[in-house]
Amino acid sequence: MIDTHAHLDAVDDPSAALTRARDAGVTRVITVGTGIDSCRAALELAEREEGVFAALGLHPHQAADPDAERLADLRELLAGDRVVAVGETGLDFYRDYAPRNRQQELFQQELDLAAELQLPVVVHSREADEETATALSAHPGRVILHCFSSLGLLPPALEHRWYVSFAGNVTYPKAEELRAAAAEVPEDRILAETDSPYLAPQPRRGRPNEPANVVHTVEELAAVRGITAEGLAARIDVNADEAFSLP
């Protein structure tokens, strides 16, 4: 089983968390950077830990920070052997920690970088469905919609065959609409993640999340799709291989 999106640099004792993940059958993790320092830490973890790969990007919250001007540093880090994607990048009009025009500018720069380097892009989108869909519709590469919760993005995702990744919030009691969306995603486009240390699934809710907990999200997704958890885990493994060109 694979956790396709975790922030291991923000997890207490990543090595111990990875040991617990392996004990739970989660043998691969994609750790995600959200700023230059975070990207360096993610890459170091991927180079040190077996079964760990890195996605490196500048989060929309960083769009007004000095890191947004460090695309040359990001490009250099993306040359690492364990790097499998650009991101997470995207738009967050819910928090609005950075001006929207700066978020859109940075998002486009990272999309261009992903296209140039022929890497998939991991996308964060919150309260920005239309703007996200417009930017991604013109993007020629593979797209992973991380921690999917923007229901307005489901139609363009299905149309353009973007990958759709579900996190622990799909297990919450009030997430009926999100579970219904999960049932609509084609079997070759669905992914699962933890977004550790955030969004622990319902059985672990209220505690810091970690990659081992992706098993709970896979179980919930399998239930709403009417298949076994083992079958869905195997399918997600194949999808992740294809989405991220994993070795």
Q: Dump pLDDT digits (tens) for 197-207.
A: 999 999 999 99
Query: 17 vs 30, 31, 180, 183, 210, CA distance in Å?
Result: 13, 12, 31, 30, 6
* pLDDT tens by residue, 27-76: 999 999 999 999 999 999 999 999 999 999 999 999 999 999 999 999 99
**DSSP H or E run through 232:** helix 229-244
What pTM does this model have? 0.97
**What is the SS3 assignment for 40?**
helix
pLDDT of residue 196: 98
pLDDT of residue 83: 98
Query: What are residue 166's phi and psi, to 5 degrees?
Result: -110, 140
